[in-house]
Amino acid sequence: MNTKFNRWVTCPFPQPDAALRLFCFPFAGGGASIYRGWGKLFGSQVEICPIQLPGRENRFSEPAFKEAQTLAQALASQLQLYSDKPFVMYGHSMGALVAFELTRVLQANGMTMPEALILGAHRAAHLPRTRETLYNLDDKTFIERLQRFGGFPEEVLASADLLQFLMPTLKADFTLCDTYVYTEQEPLNCPIHIFSGAADPEAPPAVMEDWRQHSSIDAHMHVFQAGHFFIRSDLERVTETLKTILPLSQTGIASTQHA
C-alpha cells in the first residue's frame, strides 16, 4: 500500500518498508513537531507518525477541539486509513487522554486495535482531577499556572504576542482536559504501558498506576527520574523503553528486556 499522509497523520521521515507504525499524540498546546526528531530514533523498521490536531502549526486556522470524545471520533476514521500495518500509540499528558478515548472508540466500533497503548503523564482517566481548573482563568493567571509545568519554552512564555497567538488553542486544550467526563466501558483488549515521571506533580506514579484496570490483557509501569515533560528531559531513556515495548518480533529492533 502506497500510503499518503494527510493533515491529521503526519510522517516527517517515511519508512515505506517499516513493519510497524507508532502514532504519537501531543500534550496540551503542542503540535506534531514535538515528535519530529523521533523519526530518526528507531531505524527503518518503525514509522513514526505524529498526530497533528486542529488549532496548531499548519492547522492553526482550524478551531481546536474542546471535548475528548468528539476528537476521538474524528481521529478514529483517520487512523483506519493507516491500518494496513500493525501500530502502537503513544500519548503524552492531554495526548494520553485522547489516545485512550480513541482506543475505546476503535474497540467499540470493531476497528483495528493497536498492538499496545502507551500512556504518559496523565492520571488514570477514571480518577477525579485534583488540581484547579485552568481553562477558565484570566490569561495572566493561566500563564502563571502553565509555568509550573516546566515544559513550555521560555521564549514562548516571555513573548506576549506569541502567547496571544497561541492562547485560543491552549485554552481549548485545557478545556478538553478540565471538563473531561469519564464514562464506564469495557476494559481495552490490548496491553497498556504506563509512563510516569517520578517528580511529576501533575501525574505521579501513584495516580498513574490505576491505568492498569483499563486493560483486559496486561499493563506495565515505567517510571522515569524526571518531571512532567520527561519526553524532553529524559528522551534517551524514553527511547530505550519504547524499544522494549514495540513488537520486536515484527520490527527486529535490538533491545533489552523489560525493566
The answer to whether 227 touches 197, Cβ cutoff 8 Å, is: yes
Question: CA 233, CA 68: separation in Å to the nearest integer?
Answer: 27
For 159, list phi and psi in degrees, rounded to 5. -105, 110
Check residue 251 and report its DSSP letter.
Answer: H
Q: Is 93 a catalytic residue?
A: yes
Which residue's entry shows cell 486544550? Answer: 173
Strands 46-50 and 87-92: unpaired
Options 61, 77, 93, 159, the catalytic residue: 93
The sheet with strand 192-197 has its strands ordered as 46-50, 20-25, 87-92, 116-120, 192-197, 219-224
Question: CA 96, CA 192: separation in Å to the nearest integer?
Answer: 11
> Which residues are known catalytic residues?
93
